[in-house]
Amino acid sequence: MPDQTERRKHRSDDPIVALHYQLSTVRSEAAFDALVLVDGAGCLVAGAGAWPVCEELAAYAPFLAHRHNSQTPGVASRTGEIARDTHVRAMQIEGSEVLLCARGGGADVTPWIVRAIAGCRRILGAEV
């Protein structure tokens, strides 16, 4: 008989809570300081990590994802500082751009970012 052990420790039917659980697990395993999912305008959808760090990542994620856009000098300066240790990936969910943004985590964070994206898409019911 196959092992029916549930690998997830927390579950929720509420998508926002489920996103938090997903992001929290990936953040912990990848040793990220924070991991957030934000909309294209920089509004926090879900996050894991210290709240001030999550809020800052959410606010700057659109600037980090689209660095070619013109920025005021103060925004450009802070964006440059944050960018050194931040990873941003844009994706489409139901026709809208959302951004996954992580701070910290070491050298090769790609597998963790891919895992977080897959979890977010699964939870939000988006086409892969």
d(CA 87, CA 4): 35
Output the pLDDT for position 128: 41
Q: Tell me which H or E stretch contains 46.
A: strand 44-49
Output the pLDDT for position 126: 55
pLDDT at 121 over 60: yes
The pair of structure tokens assigned to 96 is 């809208």
What angle in degrees, to the nearest 10, is found between the helix axes of 51-65 and 73-83?
110
Contact criterion met (CB below 8 Å) for 37 and 120:
yes
Task: Please report how many Cα atoms fall inside a 13 Å half-sphere around the Cα of residue 98, on the Cβ side.
Answer: 18
The pair of structure tokens assigned to 18 is 């489920």
Contact criterion met (CB below 8 Å) for 117 and 100:
yes
Tens of pLDDT, residue by residue over 47-101, are 999 999 999 999 999 988 886 555 666 666 777 777 788 999 999 888 889 999 9
What percentage of residues in the chain have a pLDDT greater than 70?
81
The overall average pLDDT reported for the chain is 84
pTM: 0.81
Q: 87 in helix, strand or coil?
A: strand
Domains of the chain: 15-124 (3.30.450.30)
pLDDT at 28 over 80: yes
Output the pLDDT for position 22: 95
Contact criterion met (CB below 8 Å) for 89 and 61:
no
C-alpha 25 chain-centroid distance: 12
pLDDT at 4 over 60: no
